[in-house]
Structure 1
């Protein structure tokens, strides 16, 4: 197991509870002789912290581990910035669901102590890259850990688009858009739209139509190496958007082309040794507990 000495810390902005946990975390790490490097925005909400400060990108170059305090959205933002550096991420949950941030503030020091001693498991999660083209020229680019979503933005009109997978025409569709999700994102927006839950170890991508104008349109699961192309219909009156993890948007126009494929770099998520995907689903999604007699 890796030895962690230089530990980066990122916290979600705008939450008093996050600040409380950040102070507790910093105090614990400093007391145990770890080098703490605060992400620059995080440092701004911890006046008098006395620690080194760095940008997210620099954290990936100088740290052995980055701890993210917040919700799953905080992990998503950190993952996009740090994927290329291959630095492991550990999440402390101060959000709502917490599929990716599975250490609770109530037992932070106990569980963190075990992780820092080498008692942890590692998950590798892939991301998606999305490129938007207009008239054969690049218009915009984004990366997503959860999903790339074509949606109408503020418009209430349906979007007409063509779907191609690995160069093969699949269908033309009129709908509110399409969710292209990784296994990580299968428990997020994709799940709300009726998509399947996929185990994080799967090398697969799911395409989930949003309110399609046909009852026969269903989610499709494809190989994770697939190249997905969306062509926005020339006759569209709406100007849709492409979002990446719901945190970045690119405005599109009729005729634009969106290309989506797996990113060459994966992120590494650190979990305590008792982490279990199915137990997380049971807890976060309210699945029934075992009813069989012991």
Structure 2
């Protein structure tokens, strides 16, 4: 049975075009069929000329559901675009970082040949990342419904006006404040916009929802981590005529008039990411953010079973001694009355 791999690339960049060209050739040599979107394939042909290897066209030659895996060549923005494409099908994404940080990417540009080999040998696992369901209500009417992998970011619409908002958890108001915005994020998004706004880093395997105010003018407007079963909401108050805008993953947006209500819950549909090696999340943090770890010694090796010594008995001055059998000082062993002198 033929195995197909869809290649998604940022074809507006020369580096991405070269990586896509190389990936197509490597996939073919490995016995896999490369697939591309028509517009991106046209960009590649326009740049390189006629290809030496056949490439199938998505929707013309093959359906998305017939693809085994999507290889994403680019940064986190390209991976978020790929996540939109595969939203309704059960196809994992494997990112090859061509950007700066590329936190969602699994490998780097220099590892492209090795990555294709892992795919050919099916030497990868798939992990599921939580997403959020996002709804916007205005005067009791739902005007927008979408989803996000990273975050739903509420921002002020005018630079000179603060937003007045009230936050809500599980249909109970929490606090109101003026701010530049509020980020409602997933653990995956904790290293994106929420991180820039001062939110905590949450390990991907921890299911949770984050509320992170942006430049809040209030004492109790700190980042919060709540249950994934909670329902979060933010309302744009009518105290002023300041308007906002809601961005989901930085790709889809809607205007927010005063009185708008944004509701966020855990989505039932996750994003599936392919992993070619089980790198701990802590190691990914260190590598991506170039964190200083010089001087680290690591855990002390345990060479054998560790036994604790006798617990000393401490008498409080003036207190009656314990009726327990007398002991030799420091020995921890009871004294035999028949041999005691």
> Equivalent of 2:41, from 40, 43, 48?
43
Report the Cα offset of residue 41 of structure 1: 3.3
Is the CA contact (8 Å cut-off) linking 2:27 and 2:116 kept in structure 1? no
> Equivalent of 2:86, from 82, 86, 111?
82
Aligned to 2:236: 232
Aligned to 1:186: 190
**Structure 1: how far apart are the matches of 2:287 and 2:80?**
21
**Structure 2: how far apart are the matches of 1:4 and 1:217?**
54
After TM superposition, the structure 1 = structure 2 runs for residues 264-283 of structure 1, keeping only pairs within 5 Å, are: 264-283=268-287
**Structure 1: how far apart are the matches of 2:86 and 2:292?**
36
> Equivalent of 1:20, from 18, 21, 29?
18
- The 1:32–1:286 alpha-carbon spacing in structure 2 relative to 1, beyond 3 Å, is closer
After TM superposition, the structure 1 = structure 2 runs for residues 131-210 of structure 1, keeping only pairs within 5 Å, are: 131-210=135-214
Q: Secondary structure at the match of 2:99?
A: coil
1:72-114 Cα distance to aligned partner (Å, 9 max, x none): 1111121133133121110011111011112112121123202
Aligned to 1:52: 56
**Structure 2: how far apart are the matches of 1:288 and 1:109?**
30
Report the Cα offset of residue 191 of structure 1: 0.7
Report the Cα offset of residue 51 of structure 1: 2.0
Q: CA RMSD in A?
A: 1.9
Aligned to 2:114: 110
Report the Cα offset of residue 266 of structure 1: 0.8
In structure 1, runs of 5+ residues without a counterpart are: none
Q: Secondary structure at the match of 1:122?
A: strand
Q: TM-score, normalised by structure 2?
A: 0.80
Misfit runs of 4+, over 4 Å: none
Q: TM-score, normalised by structure 1?
A: 0.92
Is the CA contact (8 Å cut-off) linking 2:197 and 2:214 kept in structure 1? yes
In structure 2, runs of 5+ residues without a counterpart are: 299-341
1:128-184 Cα distance to aligned partner (Å, 9 max, x none): 121111122221222211110000134331111121111111111211110011110
Is the CA contact (8 Å cut-off) linking 2:164 and 2:176 kept in structure 1? yes
- The 1:135–1:270 alpha-carbon spacing in structure 2 relative to 1, beyond 3 Å, is same
> Equivalent of 1:32, from 26, 30, 33?
30
Is the CA contact (8 Å cut-off) linking 2:23 and 2:116 kept in structure 1? no
Report the Cα offset of residue 193 of structure 1: 0.8
Q: Secondary structure at the match of 1:265?
A: coil
**Structure 2: how far apart are the matches of 1:52 and 1:119?**
24
Aligned to 1:5: 3
- The 1:4–1:122 alpha-carbon spacing in structure 2 relative to 1, beyond 3 Å, is farther
Is the CA contact (8 Å cut-off) linking 1:86 and 1:266 kept in structure 2? no
**Structure 2: how far apart are the matches of 1:59 and 1:154?**
43
Aligned to 1:62: 66
**Structure 1: how far apart are the matches of 2:118 and 2:208?**
32
1:2-22 Cα distance to aligned partner (Å, 9 max, x none): x98111111123211000100
Q: Which structure dedicates a bigger proportion of its chain to strand? A: 1
